[in-house]
Amino acid sequence: MRHIDVHQLADDARFNRFHGLVLFWCALIIIFDGYDLAVVGIALPSIMKDLGVDPAQAGFMVSSALFGMAFGAIFLGTLADRIGRRWSIVLCITLFSVFTAAAGLTRDPLLFAASRFLAGLGIGGVMPNVVAHMTEYAPKKVRATLVTLMFSGYAVGGILAALLGKGLIESYGWQSVFFAAAAPVLLIPFILRSLPESMPFLLAKGRHEELKRIAARVDPSYQPKDSDQFTVPARDKAHGAPTRQLFAEGRGFSTIMFWTAFFMCLFMVYALSSWLTKLMAAAGYSLGSALTFVLVLNVGAIVGAVGGGWLADRFHIKTVLASMYALAAVSISLLGFAMPQELLFVVVGLAGASTIGTQIVANAYTGQFYPMAIRSTGLGFALGIGRGGAILAPIVIGVLVSLKLPLQQNFFAIAIPGAIGMLAVLLIDHRKSASVQRAARLATTLETSASAARTLPTKA
């Protein structure tokens, strides 16, 4: 009888077509997710004009999705650990696709906000699920690269919204970009058929034959046998409420630090997306159209995400992430000073790389920190609490702008969270991470085996 550790099997596997399939579906889902989140910003001027809403009402209409994302990240991330990630992902796709399209049918600001809140549940809920799924199946040597590459689809979705939005709105009205968001629903049958379920979930449910088939695809060198027994380390089994497990085994302080880092990063992301063009216009710069700004910021985000993931697979991911927070603080601070327009675009790209890109690397680190059994819960809570920073940022920076402070002080206010986030990351106790604990257990097992071998009597 063989005992197969499914976590170790995934860690040691080499990248193959199966991993490519998981990457494809997870990245495509994140692209749809990014489109649904960005589409309101692209259409907002047309919505305000058509529905006759003032800026205060428009702000409420936009922020309603952010509130939904906070609840979705927490509750749907936790739900996945109970009903399985595949069905949780499908539920999220249904929510953000159907209710984003429904927002295009509304003529009342309150109904629009309600639709966006429900869509936000799916937008926020799908993020921790796909990150946890990609983290579980990715080989250890390329895990951070694959997770960040997948999550860069979020920025691709923003670019797609910007590129399609102008043409669709001019030709068919602002409602068309919302109706287009319903397309992912058509892919749900293919996702259910192609996307594998979480291996620990299958093990917990006793679905051993399905688990054998998936294990053979994860590592083609593994040949299933009837007598095989699958296991996960005791650390990866949730004993009690998953939420409580975030604070178990010495993880409590690090969990709070993750929440702090997420809050600060999302504060920077949404402060820039809400006020950068306004602040730069006040400084006398001309960035051209809002489309150009969206492209520059999101291209920077893709570079930061993929580059950060590449570095994280070659150096310590905690050090890489702390450095990216530091770069965010510096680059955002520089935006407050006069510079040639060409250099400004470079700095805006760096700001995108070190804010949106940093958030994507933070997702990867969080996914690696928690054991598989509570990975979706851990990431869901971090994203959910971090959404508080996203909700607060437009309001806080708006108040500062109304005070007519010098430009540099406004950007310093956005940059300070970068320094706080860096400190929070540095205070995370990496020794409590799942990857370090697995390595320690493996080393102990090998040492015990070696000691046993040395004590065996030898034949004369």
Q: How confident is the model at residue 147 (pLDDT cuts 50, 70, 90)?
A: confident
In the prediction, which pLDDT does 119 show? 92
**Stretch 68-84: mean pLDDT:** 79
Residue 443 scores a pLDDT above 60 = no
Number of domain units in the chain:
1
* Residue 458 included in any domain: no
The HSE-up count of residue 122 (CA atoms within 13 Å, CB side) is 29
Q: How confident is the model at residue 287 (pLDDT cuts 50, 70, 90)?
A: very low
* Residue 40 included in any domain: yes
* Residue 227 included in any domain: no
* Residue 222 included in any domain: no
* Residue 454 included in any domain: no
Distances (CA, A) of 177 to 46, 103, 266, 363: 11, 10, 25, 28
* Residue 217 included in any domain: no
pTM: 0.71
* Residue 423 included in any domain: yes
**Chain mean pLDDT for the chain:** 82
In the prediction, which pLDDT does 24 show? 94
In the prediction, which pLDDT does 127 show? 81
Concatenating the DSSP letter of every residue in 158-212 gives HHHHHHHHHHHHHHH-THHHHHGGGGGGGGHHHHHHHSPPPHHHHHHTT-HHHHH
The HSE-up count of residue 140 (CA atoms within 13 Å, CB side) is 14
Separation CA 457–CA 460 (nearest Å): 9
Q: pLDDT tens digit string along 180-194?
A: 999 999 999 999 999
Q: 277, 44 in Cβ contact below 8 A?
A: no
CATH number at residue 44: 1.20.1250.20
Structural domain range at position 145: 3-207+232-439
**Stretch 73-87: mean pLDDT:** 80
Residue 266 scores a pLDDT above 80 = yes
In the prediction, which pLDDT does 367 show? 80
In the prediction, which pLDDT does 460 show? 42
* Residue 345 included in any domain: yes
Separation CA 251–CA 274 (nearest Å): 34
